Amino acid sequence: MIDALTSDQEMSLREYREECLRSGHSCAPSDRAAAETAFRGMYARLGRGQPRVWWCDGPATGSILRDLLGASPGPSLGASPGASPGASLGASLRANLGASLRASHWWSCWGQHEIYWPAFYDWPDRFLRKMYGEKDRALLDMWLTLGKSTGWWQPYENGVVACERPERQALDAEGRLHHETLPAFRCRDGYEFAAWHGVTVPTEWITERKPTPALALGWGNVEQRRAACEIVGWNTILGELSARVIDAHKSPEIGVLLEVDLPDSGPERFLRVRCGTGREFAIPVPREIETAHQANAWTYGLQATQLNPEVRT
């Protein structure tokens, strides 16, 4: 039973996580030779003949090809090894990679964006203690190879439909799909979608015209509504609502703490501040904040006592 990691193990876990994220976020062409070797190994384990591999430039053309082939999905390619330590690694990678393609096309087998799954089993076996026999280890290596070498894929009775890696994955500082002027995700076959800090949004909001305040506030999906409000700008949105002043600081650079009732969200608080150029901004802040000074400090990750308005630059 392992209750805690050593400092070396913690460092290796962080490095391993970054390595897996690089694979998940890669836009390099697929390593087709490595992927096909793994496919052949998986089919051989099931006593099947060598599969034919159809390569596609993305999931849109891949989905069309699957329909044209009219094939039924093939058998399972192997069960996972037994449970092991490393849940934090799996959850962390899943949060960063797992939602990249769930906007339109569903693929049941895993490539780069689901590398968190074999990684969950691989790291403990490599860095804590040997956990699997030779056959399980060989199977795990095949799954890892696919996570590091290709995009989505799906097995059929006599072959595999495999997708190239995407052409673009634009990310924000937290590793979520995001781009302010282009579709954040684009495949080599032209399939693409827009995302705002991890929330998929209508592409025209990003590439053609911003939503109007009325459209943003009336949008049905709550997550997309908040994204639309951010795209429009909270300062503009607040101008459309009856904002209540909770606290006003004497300095406009510290700002005014406001509260508004957003549809389906209840009361939300915002700090409205004026920067040195004279422009005004509105920033969402936690509901429990009571003063503009406290809200301004929060935006810097500080307590109110740590922010002195008289010396702030």
Per the CB < 8 A criterion, the answer to whether 93 and 17 are in contact is yes
DSSP assignment letter at 227 = H
- Residues sharing a CB contact under 8 Å with residue 304, sequence separation 6 or more, in sequence order: 291, 293, 294, 297
**Any domain includes 181:** no
Contact partners, residue 28, CB within 8 Å, separation at least 6: 165
Indicate if 131 and 239 belong to the same structural domain: no
Residue 3 in tokens: 């209750």
At residue 111, does pLDDT exceed 90? no
Query: Using one digit for the tens of pLDDT, what is the confidence trace for 159-208?
Result: 899 999 999 999 999 999 999 999 999 999 999 999 999 999 999 999 99
| Confidence band for 308, pLDDT divided at 50, 70 and 90 | confident
Domain assignment present for residue 172? The answer is no
Q: Are residues 158 and 20 in the same domain?
A: yes
Token pair listed for 301: 């990750």
Q: What DSSP string describes 66-103?
A: HHHHTPPB-----PPPPP-S-HHHHHHHHHHHTTTTTT
Q: Is residue 3 scored above 70 in pLDDT?
A: yes
Confidence label for 103 from pLDDT (cuts 50, 70 and 90): very low
Angle at 89 between CA 84 and CA 94, to 5 degrees: 110
Of 113, 140, 166, the residue that ends a domain is 166
pLDDT digits (tens, 9 = 90+) for 51-92: 999 999 998 888 888 777 765 555 444 434 444 444 555 555
The answer, yes or no, to whether residue 100 has pLDDT greater than 70, is: no
Which DSSP letter does residue 272 get?
E
List pLDDT tens digits, range 258-292: 998 887 777 889 898 877 666 777 888 999 999 99
Same domain, 84 and 159: yes
The model's pLDDT over 210-257, given as tens digits with 9 standing for 90+, comes to 999 889 888 888 889 889 989 998 888 888 888 889 999 888 788 899
| Residue at which a domain ends, from 122, 140, 166 | 166
Total domains, the chain? 2
H or E, element range at 126? helix 116-127
Q: How many helices (H) does the chain have, and how many strands (E)?
A: 11, 11
152: Cβ contacts below 8 Å, ≥ 6 apart: 59, 62, 101, 107, 109, 110, 111, 113, 162, 163
**Residues 28, 144: one domain?**
yes
Choose one of 117, 136, 166: the last residue of a domain. Answer: 166
**Pairing outcome for strands 185-186 and 168-169:** antiparallel
Note whether residue 218 is domain-resident. no
- 136 is in which domain, residue-wise? 7-166
pLDDT for res 91: 57
Residue 195 counted as domain residue: no
> pLDDT digit string (tens) for 118-148?
999 999 999 998 999 999 999 999 999 999 9
- Are 23 and 152 in the same domain? yes
Closest CA to 90 of 69, 110, 60: 110
